[in-house]
Amino acid sequence: MPYGLPGVAYAALLPFGLPALHPDLAAEVEARVKYEGYLRREAQRVERLRRQEAARIPSGFDFAAIRALSREGREVLTRYRPETLGQASRLPGVSPADVAVLAVHLGRREG
């Protein structure tokens, strides 16, 4: 059974004296190893989104004073006055870059 390397049998990769894994278990182990980094990054992204969802924007915050926001982003944020960064991120016309700039101005780091 080829495993990971073209033309190399899975059994040839095992040290002598170790039993071969069941093919289903070998496939699961291979998948976990291959996708471990991706899953870790996704878990970090989910945590960042949770923090963003809860990050409060003070009432009366002056969005117009932040020149780094896009013009459309400033207009939309001023019109709808979101209470959290999560709400701001879902407004049409507010880009992810606008949300990152807003987070910096609120004293929170994205990432």
50-76 pLDDT, tens digit each? 888 889 999 999 999 999 999 999 999
Can you give the pTM of this predicted structure? Answer: 0.60
Bigger pLDDT: 65 vs 109: 65
Contact 82, 57 (CB under 8 A): yes
**Cα dihedral value 45, 51, 54, 56, nearest 10:** -120
Give me the sign of the Cα torsion angle 15, 18, 22, 25. negative
How far is 86 from 98, CA to CA, in rounded Å?
A: 12
Residue 60 token pair: 């009366």
Distance CA 79, CA 97 (A): 19
Residue 67 lies in a domain: yes
Residue 45 placed within a domain: yes
Q: What phi and psi values does residue 109 have, to the nearest 5 degrees?
A: -100, 135
- The verdict on residue 57 lying in a domain is yes
16, part of any domain:
no
Is residue 42 included in any domain, yes or no? yes
**Number of domains into which the chain is organized:** 1
User: In this structure, what CATH number is given to the domain that contains residue 97?
Assistant: 1.10.150.570
Banded pLDDT at 111 (limits 50, 70, 90)? very low
Residue 4 in domain:
no
Q: Which domain holds residue 50?
A: 22-111
Residue 34: predicted pLDDT: 86
In a domain, 17, yes or no: no
Tell whether 8 is covered by a domain.
no
